[in-house]
Amino acid sequence: MNSKAVAAIATTLLGCGLNNVFLEYIIKQDPGCGHLITFAQFLFISIHGFVMTSKFGTVTPKIPFQTYLILVVLFFLTSVINNWAFNFNIPVPLHMIFRAGSLIANMIMGILILKKRYTLEKYVSVAMITLGIIICTLMSSGNKKVEACVDCDIQVEKKEADDHFFWWIIGIALLTGALLLSARMGIYQESIYKHYGKHPQEALYYTHLYSLPGFLIYSPSIWQHMQIASQSEPYEIPIVNTIVPMLWLWIVLNVVTQYLCISSVYVLTTECTSLTVTLVITLRKFLSLIFSIVYFQNPFTIYHWFGTALVFFGTLLFAEVFTKLKQSNAEQKASKSVKKTS
């Protein structure tokens, strides 16, 4: 493995891991700022792409504007809905586990749209992932407890619990919709690449740039949470001795690490085999989940662990990681035996 691949693996684990840490810091303080986070990420990638990809608008895009429109709509809705779900009592660990179930959505869309057929192993792996997500979802439905007090009326407590559960259901519905939209976007993206060739950096830039006007719909929410961020606890940055609102610092760090995560995964796909990419991304998700549970003390029972194990094991099974590892070991043994005989 060359130094570029090693660096890509390290920056993927570091960038994506830190991104989840800063995201959780933000969500803990302001759960409703999903639109602001998404807008900040899109704006940063658009500015970076304008400078580095389009060279200040001097480079003509390889894919026409009209072709990008459907992709932009799907990408915008998926990104906004995923971050918006935090506003509906969805804990970060459940969010991670749920998004790990993208293979289910991909298989459903593949069967319905592309008329694909899969092996028994694929169906078993998706069944494991589905079961794991269902277990974690059900166990997370009662995580948020209504605090009791001596003078509280039991009916009021029950109403608050019912309200929490109602909005939690809305959050689950949003995550489910985002999964299906993401899978449909992947199929459409494949068709674009087949027709025009692969231009991932260009696609990354234009899907973010063309999505920016869509945030006008959420401008009241974005402005509201910008004010909340500006009024957050002040923090003095060492060395430069500059005081900034803590929430704005976390948002900036989240945006930067988000780009580091995306760009590192892109390098990873060009430098490593699909097996390595799958293993690294799965490991990254697992480490982020563990850190979220331990550091942020998110509630996680033995049932959550069982469901999580099903999700990650099913993901590795779907990606044929175990089969490829066996093949790789067999090839290495065969190569060694050939060298000994020669």
Model confidence at 251: pLDDT above 90 = yes
Residue 249: how many other CB atoms lie within 10 Å: 17
φ/ψ of residue 283, rounded to 5: -65, -40
Q: Which residue has the tokens 């790990």?
A: 100
* pLDDT-based confidence at residue 147 (cuts at 50, 70, 90): very low
Q: Give the pLDDT confidence score for residue 340 in this predicted structure.
A: 67
Q: What are phi and psi of 243, to 5 degrees?
A: -95, 125
* Chain segment 123-143, per-residue pLDDT in tens: 888 888 888 888 887 787 654
Determine which of 10-24, 76-90, 151-165, 272-286 has the lowest per-residue pLDDT on average: 151-165
Backbone dihedral region for residue 67 (phi beyond 0: left; psi -120 to 50: alpha; all else: beta): alpha
Task: Kindly indicate the confidence band of residue 325, based on its pLDDT and cuts at 50, 70 and 90.
Answer: confident
| Contact by Cβ (8 Å): 37, 250 | no
Give dist(CA 26, CA 14) in Å, integer. Answer: 18
Mapping DSSP onto H, E and C, the string for the chain reads: CCHHHHHHHHHHHHHHHHHHHHHHHHHHHCCCCHHHHHHHHHHHHHHHHHHHCCCCCCCCCCCCHHHHHHHHHHHHHHHHHHHHHHHHCCCHHHHHHHHCCHHHHHHHHHHHCCCCCCCHHHHHHHHHHHHHHHHHHHHHCCCCCCCCCCCCCHHHHHHHHHHHHHHHHHHHHHHHHHHHHHHHHHHHHHHHHHHHCCCHHHHHHHHHHCCHHHHHHHHHHHHHHHHHHHCCCEEEECCCCEEEEHHHHHHHHHHHHHHHHHHHHHHHHHHCCHHHHHHHHHHHHHHHHHHHHHHCCCCCCHHHHHHHHHHHHHHHHHCCHHHHHHHHHHHHHHHHHHHHHC
Q: Indicate the pLDDT class of residue 150, thresholds 50, 70 and 90.
A: very low
Residue-wise pLDDT for 187-243, tens only, equals 888 888 888 987 878 888 999 999 999 999 999 999 999 999 999 999 998 888 899
- Per-residue model confidence (pLDDT) at position 275: 58
Residue range 62-102, pLDDT digits in tens: 999 999 999 999 999 999 998 888 888 788 888 888 777 77
| Predicted TM-score of the model (pTM) | 0.76
List residues bridging with 244 in a β-sheet: 235
pLDDT one-digit tens code per residue, 238-247: 888 899 999 9
Question: What is the domain count for the chain?
Answer: 1
Residue 3 has what pLDDT? 82
Max Cα–Cα distance, the chain, nearest Å: 86
Window from 11-20, 30-39, 100-109 with minimum mean pLDDT: 100-109
% of the chain exceeding 70 in pLDDT: 89
CA atoms of 186 and 192, how far apart (whole Å): 10
Q: Decide if 73 contacts 207 (C-beta within 8 A).
A: no
Average pLDDT over residues 259-265: 87
Whether residue 12 is predicted with pLDDT greater than 60 in this model: the reply is yes
Task: Report pLDDT for 289.
Answer: 81
Residue 149: its pLDDT value, please? 41
Please check the confidence at residue 277 and state whether its pLDDT lies above 80: no
Q: What are phi and psi of 56, to 5 degrees?
A: 60, 35
Mean pLDDT of the chain: 84
What CA–CA distance (Å, rounded) separates 337 from 342?
A: 9
Q: Count CB neighbours of 110 within 10 A.
A: 17
Reply yes or no on whether the pLDDT at 152 is more than 50: no
Enclosing domain of residue 239: 3-341
User: Which residues is 4 bridged to in the sheet?
Assistant: none
**113 or 51, greater pLDDT:** 51
